[in-house]
Structures are given as structure tokens and as C-alpha cells.
Amino acid sequence: MFIALFRTVTLYLLIILGIRLMGKRQVGELEPSELVFTLLIADLAAVPMQDFGIPLITGVIPIVTLLCLTLLISLLTARSIRLRALLCGVPSIVVRDGRVCQEAMRKNRFTLDELAEELRCQGVADVEKVKYAILETNGQLTVLLKAAEQPLTAAQAGLDPADGGLPVLIVSDGRLLADNLRRRGLDGNWLDKQLRQNKVKSVREVFALWVDEQGQVSLAKKEGRG
Amino acid sequence: MRKGWIAVALLAALIGLSCCHVVALGGLTEEVTGLLTQAEARAEEGDWAGADALTHQAARRWEEKRFYLHTTLDHTATDEVDLSFSETLELIQCQEAGEYSAANARLIRQLRLLGEMELPLPENLL
């Protein structure tokens, strides 16, 4: 038991260090400690599950230890900026004012091909248009365009379009979501009216009915099965 | 921060339980090997009945902890000890001095290794 505990802690910290040294690109959307937890937990659970000669507790102890360590690390990194920088790394600016920061690229082992691919994924074909491209600690690239390259917003055009707010689903696949209807301050009479307007006899014929904060309704009838 | 304290408490509980396990297993293997050593001394004196009684007592002590041992140790290791107990008891019945001595020594070694396996020694930790 003690051996399992010690080995779990040692290997967990070692793998976190390994993931950190591998750089941001390997991390994906998880923090290093969360990624390590995800990598290890499935394997730990599988061993006592398959081998009946191994006591269940030898799988349970490492899993509970990992859970506690991951929780502690996430709490400590939330409180300490230094520890956060040490365990999760810090964002790196890889493009500044249209110029690629070669030193940052080298440090993060981020190639030009990968940079170009990430920019294309975000609809940017020319690096000259980029004010900042930041490689985040979770491995994702944030691209901020130069002011002149940013799309025109309604505010910049002096327009004041109505804000529809969050649309809420009232009918889902023929079922009425009464809570959503109530929360939006609507009732059965309003729903009947909407159904009549859309030439629908019953809620059962509706695939989806949305209504936004302005009362704008969007209704999709169920399609006949072919 | 409450979750953090829960995690710390859980880790402390695991460490505490592990230490208790090391002490309990060490105590059990020491007690059982002590009985087996006494049994061998009796057999050397020609007191096979005494050796049989002590080995049965050791086997009973081992058997009493079966659930605990099976839930904390590798089943292969505990099953080997069970088999060695059966073999040793059979050899006492046959009063085969040489073979009994070898089987008893193997059983004692197996039990000591089992106890040592859980000790937080550098060779085990690494």
C-alpha cells in the first residue's frame, strides 16, 4: 500500500514534469496536471479490472492519490502565480506586429508550418495582418488582428442593432419544455398562438421551437419519415 | 479551499492506513514465522506432535487474516503461502525430517519476503 502510494506520487510528478518539458503543443486543451491525470487514470482502473489476482485496493489507492494530488495542484496553482507559471507555463507571444518571434517559436518548438496552419484555421492567410499571436498555456493559438484588419462592428458603423439575447428552446422534438416557457414569462396561450400562426396543430408536430429575449420565434416542423 | 483540506485529509488517511498495514503485516509475519521456527525446533527434538500443533496454530493465525491478506496483497503471493502451509503440514504427518526442514524454511522465507515487500525501504520504493 505504502509502495503504491509513494510510486503514484513519484510517477505523477515525473509525468507532469515530462509533459511540461514537451511544451505547450502536446498539452491540448488540458492543463499538464489534468492531462497526466487523464492519461493515468484509465490505465490504473484497467489493471485490477482485468487481473483478478491483483487486489482492488491496489487500483483504488493510486486513483484516490491522483485525484487528491490533481485537486491540490489545481487549488495551489489558483492561489500562487509562481506555481502556476512553473506547472502550467506562461503564454508566449509568437507573432508581434506581423513579425514572427523566432526565439519564442524555438522555445516552444513551434514550427512555421504549424503557425501557418493555426493562422489558416482562424481565417488568417497573411501573418502581416496579425498584431499578436499568442501561444496559450493549453496549447491553443490566440490571434489578434491589427486594428485595420479587424472586421467592422455595428458599433464602429454607428448602428444600434437590437440584441436578441439568449434564445431558449421551448419545444424539443415534440416535447414541451414547460420550465423554459415559464422562465421566459410565456404561457400555453402564447404557445397555441404560435402553433396556429405556423399552421401546426400540436406540439408533437414541432421539431424545435426557439424564442429569444425579444420574443422572436423560430420554429422547425418535424420532417415526414421517408 | 474546503476541497483542498478534504484532499489533504484523504492523503493523510491513505498514508496512515499504509503505515498501519505495514505494522500489521510485519507483526503477523513475525508471529507466524516465530511459531514455525519453534515447530522446527520441536521436530529436530523428535517431538512431531508438538511441531504439528505449532504449525497448525501458525496456519490458523494465517487463515484468520485471510480476508485482510487477500484484499491487500497480490493473490499469487498469498496462494503460494497457503500451498506451502499444506505441504509443510503434510510432511509433518509423514515425519520426513529433511524434506520438512526444507519446506518449513521455504515457508518462513516466503512469509518474511511478504512482510518485507510492503516495507517502505528504498529497494521497494524504487
Domain parsing of chain B, residue ranges:
2-118
Interface contact flag, A6 B125, Cβ < 8 Å: yes
Residue B13's pLDDT is 92
User: Does A161 fall in a domain?
Assistant: no
Residue A226's pLDDT is 47
Q: Are residues A182 and A207 in the same domain?
A: yes
Indicate the residue of B4, B17, B120 with minimum beta-carbon distance to A71. B4
The number of residues in chain A equals 226
Q: Are residues A25 and A73 in the same domain?
A: yes
Q: Model ipTM?
A: 0.72
- B65 min Cα distance to partner chain A (Å): 15
Interface contact flag, B72 A1, Cβ < 8 Å: yes
Task: Decide: helix, strand or coil at residue A93.
Answer: strand
Q: Are residues A84 and A8 in the same domain?
A: yes
Rounded Cα distance, A122 and A119, in Å: 5
Q: DSSP letters of B16-47?
A: HHHHHHHHHHHHHHHHHHHHHHHHHHHHHTT-
Interface contact flag, B125 A7, Cβ < 8 Å: yes
Q: DSSP letters of A100-141?
A: E-HHHHHHTT--HHHHHHHHHHTT---GGGEEEEEE-TTSPE
A72-102 tens-digit pLDDT: 888 888 888 888 888 878 899 999 999 999 9
- Asked whether the beta carbons of A22 and A39 are under 8 A apart, the reply is no
Mean per-residue pLDDT over chain B, rounded? 90
C-alpha cell at A49: 479490472
Q: Are residues A137 and A173 in the same domain?
A: no
pTM given for the model: 0.64
User: Does A201 fall in a domain?
Assistant: yes
Interface contact flag, A68 B10, Cβ < 8 Å: yes
A135-147 tens-digit pLDDT: 988 788 999 999 9
User: Cell 497480490 identifies what position?
Assistant: B74
Q: Are residues A81 and A98 in the same domain?
A: no
Count of domains forming chain A: 3
- Sheet containing strand A217-221, strands side by side: A175-176, A168-172, A206-211, A217-221
- B13 min Cα distance to partner chain A (Å): 11
Interface contact flag, A75 B4, Cβ < 8 Å: yes
Interface contact flag, B71 A57, Cβ < 8 Å: yes
CB < 8 Å to B18, chain A: 1-2, 5, 61
pLDDT(B30) > 90: yes
Residue closest to A184 by CA, chosen among A217, A218, A220, A212 = A212
Rounded Cα distance, B28 and B61, in Å: 8
User: Cell 479587424 identifies what position?
Assistant: A150
pLDDT(B79) > 60: yes
Q: Are residues A78 and A27 in the same domain?
A: yes
Read off the pLDDT band of B28 (50, 70, 90): very high
User: Does A141 fall in a domain?
Assistant: yes
* Residue A218, strand partner residues: A210
B33-42 tens-digit pLDDT: 999 999 999 9
Rounded Cα distance, A193 and A181, in Å: 14
Structural class in CATH, domain B2-118: mainly alpha
Residue A23's pLDDT is 62
Q: Give how far Cα A152 sits from Cα of A20, A126, A155, A156, A157, Å.
A: 39, 19, 8, 6, 7
Residue A27's pLDDT is 59
**What are the pLDDT tens digits along chain A (226 aa)?**
777 777 788 778 877 776 776 666 555 667 777 778 878 887 887 777 777 777 888 888 888 888 888 888 888 888 888 888 888 788 999 999 999 999 999 988 889 999 999 999 999 989 999 999 999 887 889 999 999 888 888 888 898 887 878 899 999 999 999 999 998 899 999 999 999 999 999 999 999 999 988 888 999 998 875 4
Nearest CA in chain B to A62: B14
Does A221 reach chain B within 8 Å, measured CB to CB? no
Kindly state the percentage of chain B with pLDDT values over 70: 100
The number of residues in chain B equals 126
- Among A71, A88, A105, identify where a domain stops: A88
B8-25 tens-digit pLDDT: 998 999 999 989 999 999
CATH number of the domain residue A125 falls in? 3.30.240.20
- A79 min Cα distance to partner chain B (Å): 10
* Full domain range(s) for residue A210: 168-221
